[in-house]
Amino acid sequence: MSFYKYNKLNYEFFIARNITRKSSDKFSSPIIRVAISSITIGLAVMIISIAIVTGYQKEIRDKVIGFGSHIQISHYDSNLSYESIPIEVNNDIISRILNIKGVKHIQSYAIKAGIIKADQQIQGIVLKGIDKNYDWDFFNKKIIEGSPIYISDTVTTNGIIISKITANSLKLKVGDTVKMYFITEGENIPRGRKFYVSGIYETGLQELDKIYAICDIKHIRKLNLWNSNQISGYEVLINDFKQIENINSQIYNIIGYDLDARTIKQTYPEIFDWIGLFNVNVIIILTLMVLVASINMITALLILILEKTNMIGILKTLGAQNLSIRKIFIYNGLYMIIKGLFWGNILALLLCLIQIKTGIITLNQESYYVPVVPINLNFIHIIAINVGTLIICMAMLIIPSYIVTRITPIKTIRFS
């Protein structure tokens, strides 16, 4: 490629670079800085907003899943009743579910509603029975006092794990003995059971904390007069929440006509509908930030074009085409956008990392269900925001660059 052709293809970029370097003492300099700052702040706000919203959604979602897993399998007629119809443990079904791609774990459970009593205080509660295969990952992080209960195949464990809300309401602490009473179908006198408090947990979801306590599944079987092979159902944990509907459909095709498979979103639709509303807030924030950044970019480019009217006239006199001159100013705009994006990413990531490491911004857990502002840094989201901002701002620059076509060499020479 000859030197002439090289210059023909790149002189717009050469002139744009020189304009950028020599604009520090011009009238347009503060306007350009404002435009870059608006992109920096706007991008940082967008990244932080999405990180907080998705972090909050994930935190609430994980807590709900911690109580009921991703997918629950129970008798078709049980619905959401705390007095469930028992099903038989079927190892063939368990094996086939575990073979589904994306399934992490499957565990048995049984539930029974009752009344817990300590001294003269009573409270309604749902006792959830678990076996030795229970996945403790969630509750290990939420137990604030005591320890999980140890469960074996032979010996019945009398330990129970209650929530902090229940413990405070009944004035209980780890090691205390409590009595629970249950109504069994066909019996007029409630059945009683003694437990000791093995651990106290706190998730922040008061609606669930005040309901559930965890015990050995063998207690539920005895109270319901079930045999050792009967359970309320299965809980299925999966690796990717996005695949929940697909995996649920596959499970539904395996379990047979007398069983039902429900996702956690179907079990607690009000919670997932509520956290889904946060997406509307994110859309509003993104729209406003991109709009503000675009308006500032248009303003900066208009001022830059007006400041360089003389140069535009000279270039046209020398034979430059409108498209080439427009490219010069679009290159300038691109420089401002990229600089703003760079510092916006630095600012957003720095603030997010500070919050992740220190938890400096706290929340009232009773109102917001989490003790600190949660952050979820997803680099796919960050890349999408950057690319989207770049494309929209660049598209907006086409509008002010059109003014170049309205400038004539004669008028600019007279003006100078």
* Alpha carbon distances (Å) from 202 to 175, 193, 330: 17, 24, 55
The string of DSSP codes covering 95-159 is: HHHHTSTTEEEEEEEEEEEEEEEETTEEEEEEEEEE-TT---HHHHHHEEEE-PPP--SSSPP-E
Q: What is the distance between the alpha carbons of residues 93 and 95, in angstroms, rounded to a whole number?
A: 5
Give the closest residue to 123 by CA, choosing from 71, 83, 68, 179: 179
What pLDDT sits at residue 184? Answer: 73
Residue 44 banded pLDDT, cuts 50, 70, 90: very high
Match 């179907």 to its residue by tokens: 266
What pLDDT sits at residue 26? Answer: 57
What pLDDT sits at residue 23? Answer: 56
What pLDDT sits at residue 53? Answer: 94
**Mean pLDDT over all residues of the chain?**
87
Q: What is the distance between the alpha carbons of residues 414 and 416, in angstroms, rounded to a whole number?
A: 5
pLDDT tens readout for residues 247-269? 999 999 999 888 999 999 999 99
What pLDDT sits at residue 106? Answer: 96
What pLDDT sits at residue 356? Answer: 95
Ramachandran class of 330: left when φ > 0, alpha when ψ lies in -120 to 50, beta otherwise: alpha
What pLDDT sits at residue 101? Answer: 95
Match 């009238």 to its residue by tokens: 27
Q: What is the distance between the alpha carbons of residues 388 and 286, in angstroms, rounded to a whole number?
A: 10
Is 75 exposed, middle or buried (CB count within 10 Å of its CB: 0-12, 13-18, 19+)? Answer: middle
Match 């005895």 to its residue by tokens: 222
Residue 386 banded pLDDT, cuts 50, 70, 90: very high
Residue type, 164: K
Please tell me which residue, 14 or 331, carries the higher pLDDT value.
331
pLDDT tens readout for residues 117-152? 887 788 989 999 999 999 999 999 999 999 999 998
Percent residues over pLDDT 70 in the chain: 92
Please tell me which residue, 376 or 9, carries the higher pLDDT value.
376
Q: Strand, helix or coil at 361?
A: coil
Quote the tokens at residue 151: 């469960």
CA angle 151, 152, 156 (to 5 degrees): 75
What pLDDT sits at residue 413? Answer: 60
What pLDDT sits at residue 1? Answer: 40
What pLDDT sits at residue 332? Answer: 83
Q: Are 302 and 296 in contact (CB under 8 A)?
A: no
What pLDDT sits at residue 32? Answer: 79
Q: What is the distance between the alpha carbons of residues 46 and 287, in angstroms, rounded to a whole number?
A: 9
What pLDDT sits at residue 302? Answer: 84
**The pTM is what?**
0.84
Res. 5: pLDDT tops 70: no
* Alpha carbon distances (Å) from 69 to 14, 23, 226, 235: 60, 60, 24, 6
Summarize the confidence of residues 268-283 as an average pLDDT: 91
Q: Residue 123 forms beta bridges with which residues? A: 116
What pLDDT sits at residue 43? Answer: 93
Summarize the confidence of residues 104-123 as an average pLDDT: 90
Res. 384: pLDDT tops 70: yes
pLDDT tens readout for residues 283-329? 999 999 989 888 888 888 888 887 777 787 878 877 778 888 888 88
CA 384 to chain CA centroid, nearest Å: 16
Residue type, 5: K
